[in-house]
Structures are given as C-alpha cells and as structure tokens.
Structure 1
Amino acid sequence: MKILRPLANPEKENSFSVKWRKRRFVLFTQLLSGLTPPVRILDVGGTEYFWRNVRFVPESETSIVLLNLYEIDVTLPWISSVVGNGMDLSRYGDGEFDIVFSNSVIEHLGSWENQLKMASEIRRVGKHYFV
C-alpha cells in the first residue's frame, strides 16, 4: 500500500486527497457566499494549514474557531483555537455559529454512537453545517 500513500498525502499539492478537498471546498464557499456578515465558523478538527492550503480569503467580518482535542498554534488574525470535543459542544449555544465545518473527522470517531453525538451537536450549534 506504500504506492498509494502519495495519492492521499494532504501535504502534497498534486495528491488526490488535496484535489478532492479543494473541489469540495468550492461547495463550501458557495454556501458561505449566501450568508450575511458577520459570519462565525466553527471548524471541528480543523487546522490553520487547511485554510491556508485552500487559499481561503475571508470577508472582513468572518472568523473561524478551530476546535481540537489539543491547542494548536494559529497566526492568522481571523482564526482562533480552542480545546474541546466535537461530541460535546455544550460550551456553545444553539445556533451560535453560522456554519459548522468539519473536514474528514467524523469517520474517525470510532463508533456509530459517537458519530451521531457529533452530528447532533453540529446541527445544534450551527445554523448551517458542512461535514
């Protein structure tokens, strides 16, 4: 299976994985374009690297909160990082985010029950969601 690794490498610009994510991201930007600023995005399991890699340039009133099991360093002024778990978003109110975004995380939660917990929380805190 070593021969397939380069195709799935998220750090290689020409990998299948990166090309597919960029194609999906076009759909996300279409959803985003229909929203009125200010726009708050919660990215469950996200990284600043991802947003740089897809060359996302936000409107002036767009902010992204990266939620991960551990703190990650961020340098972009419109991105912040918090520690948390996508299955428990109780720190956030219903509809607190305009969009909840999650790229390739839900399938790594193990059980179907855990996936349902995360999906339920995403629907609760987001007015829209893109998973």
Structure 2
Amino acid sequence: MPLHSLRFHLVDSPTSYGAKRRALRAAWLSDTFPDLAQMTVLDLGGRVSSWTQVPVRPARVHVVNLEPLPTELPDWAEADHADACELPASIASRRYDLVFSNSVLEHVGGHEQRRRMAEAVSTLAPRYWVQTPYRYFPIEPHWVAPGMQFLPVAARVAVARKWPLAYTPGKSWELAMKQVLTTELVGKAEMRYLFPDAEIRSERLLGMTKSLIAVRTV
C-alpha cells in the first residue's frame, strides 16, 4: 500500500483510527455538557457537516469559517464567512450557550491572534470547549510526520512538500510555505495563559498527551 494511501486508512477514512478518536471526542463533549441538545453553539472554524455526524447535536449551530460556505444549510444551522480573531459586530454582539472550536487555534497566525480568539471565546458564551493538538506529542498531526514541528522552517517546508503522509505531497513551495507558517502547535503553558478560567484537559494516546482541550463548564 502506498504511504499516501495509508494516511487515508489511518486518519481520514470514516472507519480510520482518526475517525474513531473524533467520535470519542464528540462523546466526551456531550458528556461534559449534558444539555448540549438544547444549546445554541458558536463553532469557530468548523463545518456544518461535522455536526451531522455527532451523537448529540445542539439545537442551533452557528459556524464561522474563512473557508467557502455551503450553499444549502439545514434548518438548525447558520454560517458566516468571518475571522474568528476579528469577529464582525453582528457576531461579537451576540451571546451563545457554548463556544466550540476544534483544531483551529494552531492555525490563526501567531500568539497575538490566538489571544484575540481566546478573548472572543471567553466573552461570547459562559461555557466553551477549545481543542488543539499538543505541541510536544512526538507526531506532528497535520502531516503525520515525526518531530516535524521542531524543525527549522525550511526543513518543515521540505517535509510538507515531500512527506508521503501529507494531504497533498508534491505541492508547490509557495503553498507548502503558507501551510507551514500558519500551523503553530501550542503547549500547556500557553493554553493556561490563554484560558486562565478553564480546566485544561489532556487527550491521551499511548499514555502521552496528544491534544489539549480548554473547557469552561460554568
């Protein structure tokens, strides 16, 4: 089996190990917030389609993303094209029951942008759940490459272009550079600083912290 195909079976397919981990995380979310089905949720950086696959779906989901938006939405969802770090007044003035974000914090563009996103998360709802991959897990999760996050930028770009478990090996230098510079994994100290009133949970794999989740339940 080619290594690039192996990524699909390990991470991306509906029956992959990665999919099973995502399902466990969704169950953890609903266990943490027993009234999730009655909540209005702001999802920063997510997709409406992700909420169709969870065991418990909120009553209302508002997705904010910089990606192209779906042309059709279910009656329980709304979507806006906006930056989670610089929300327009039409969103920033609203209040939700829960702010949710999954694997977005590491992509917003440096510590200052992460601080702005954390501020928005903390003010838009009394409860939140913010997950991000852990910087010191030995496998960089976006490229499934051992220790890639600790390499110099030029080396990371080379890995992003050539590593066979990347999403699209063989990509241009410009695209690889952009992806590398907009992927900055976060450690526990920064998560505690960004979310001082949260419980910082560790999602573990083989006894090691794989991702961090900042959770505020009240």
* 1:75 and 2:78 are equivalent in the alignment: no
Provide the residue aligned with 1:65 in structure 2.
Answer: 62
What amino acid is aligned across from residue 69 of structure 1 in structure 2? L
Provide the residue aligned with 1:2 in structure 2.
Answer: 4
Cα displacement (A) at 1:78: 0.3
Provide the residue aligned with 1:13 in structure 2.
Answer: 14
CA distance, structure 2, for counterparts of residue 35 and residue 13 of structure 1: 24
CA distance, structure 1, for counterparts of residue 83 and residue 121 of structure 2: 11
What amino acid is aligned across from residue 15 of structure 2 in structure 1? N
Which structure is higher in RCO with an 8 Å CA cutoff and minimum separation 6? 1
Tell me the TM-score normalised to structure 2 length.
0.51
**Aligned pair count?**
124
Cα displacement (A) at 1:26: 1.2
Deviations 1:19-54 (A, max 9, x none): 1111111121123324694x2100011112211122
Larger Rg: 2
- Gaps of at least 5 residues in structure 1 are none
- Gaps of at least 5 residues in structure 2 are 131-218
What amino acid is aligned across from residue 98 of structure 1 in structure 2? D
CA distance, structure 1, for counterparts of residue 87 and residue 35 of structure 2: 25
Provide the residue aligned with 1:32 in structure 2.
Answer: 33
Decide which moves more: 40-49 or 65-74: 65-74
CA distance, structure 1, for counterparts of residue 115 and residue 19 of structure 2: 27
Identical pairs, percent: 27
Cα displacement (A) at 1:99: 0.3
Tell me the TM-score normalised to structure 1 length.
0.80
